[in-house]
């Protein structure tokens, strides 16, 4: 992405596990997440999955301290003035309740595209990023614009998202109702519940998945007296490791 530093995409074990155990393909989830980032959603809040992912990107910024060193722009006076006017138009659109949030989002994408065209001038922008030789992701202009403004390559956001997803953290926070709300985990739960239609329903009907869900339903009662979030995450991680080890042994039989 031009003069913005990229890093290799690395799928962490916990992210790979949550996708595997929930019956979700890793590339499919990542693409769905990227498709739902909406630049204009930074200026209003609703219960949509687009808003959830947009808050997730801000969450990644805060956790990993991204976007703290904006890239200097080389725009002439006319381009700066046009860019400022477009930003003002988008903010006004975002708070205009005469339109539904969906209408605001759709109209906002047009404005975002115009801002992107101005700020990407002179940059070698790529709208795809490779996970491996067989899988790549399409990047929308909403995310690319945010990356330019924050001087942050999309790879940092993808890696950050994956690092912030794990079954022990997800379950411990949900069961104790503690910890800082993680919008990315909220999106994972929606996908698990069927949003995006990327879940492997054939896998969901297997005894392996049903056993996994039954185990989850017992966890909160089994470890009820562990009331600190950090300790609950530890015992859930131990449970998960035991579950996976037993599953491996079952497969050998």
List the domain boundaries for the chain.
27-152
Query: Coil, strand, or helix at residue 137?
Result: strand
Contact in structure between 163 and 156 (CB atoms under 8 Å): no
Distances (CA, A) of 57 to 17, 61, 152, 236, 252: 22, 6, 12, 26, 41
pLDDT cut 70: percent of the chain above it? 96
Whole-angstrom Cα distance, residue 53 to residue 160? 13
Q: Higher pLDDT residue, 105 or 76? A: 105
pLDDT at residue 252, rounded to an integer: 46
Mean pLDDT along residues 209-222: 94
Q: Poorest-confidence range of 2-11, 89-98, 193-202?
A: 2-11
Q: What is the pTM of this model?
A: 0.91
């Amino acid at each position: 992405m031009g003069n913005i530093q990229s890093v290799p995409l690395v799928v962490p074990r916990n992210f790979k596990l949550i996708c595997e155990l929930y019956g979700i393909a890793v590339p499919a989830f990542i693409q769905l997440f990227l498709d739902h980032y909406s630049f204009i959603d930074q200026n209003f809040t609703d219960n949509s999955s687009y808003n959830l992912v947009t808050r997730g990107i801000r969450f990644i910024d805060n956790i990993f301290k991204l976007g703290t060193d904006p890239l200097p722009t080389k725009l002439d006076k006319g381009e700066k003035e046009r860019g400022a006017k477009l930003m003002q138009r988008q903010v006004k659109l975002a708070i205009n309740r005469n339109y539904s949030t969906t209408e605001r989002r759709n109209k906002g994408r047009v404005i975002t595209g115009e801002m992107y065209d101005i700020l990407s001038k002179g940059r070698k922008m790529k709208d795809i990023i490779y996970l491996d030789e067989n899988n790549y992701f399409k990047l929308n202009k909403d995310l690319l614009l945010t990356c330019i403004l924050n001087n942050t390559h999309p790879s940092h956001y993808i890696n950050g998202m994956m690092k912030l997803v794990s079954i022990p953290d997800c379950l411990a926070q949900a069961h104790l109702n503690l910890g800082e709300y993680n919008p990315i985990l909220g999106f994972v739960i929606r996908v698990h519940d069927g949003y995006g239609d990327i879940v492997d329903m054939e896998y969901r009907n297997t005894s392996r998945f049903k056993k996994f869900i039954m185990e989850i339903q017992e966890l909160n009662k089994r470890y009820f007296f562990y009331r600190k979030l950090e300790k609950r995450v530890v015992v859930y991680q131990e449970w998960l490791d035991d579950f996976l080890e037993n599953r491996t042994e079952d497969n050998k039989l």
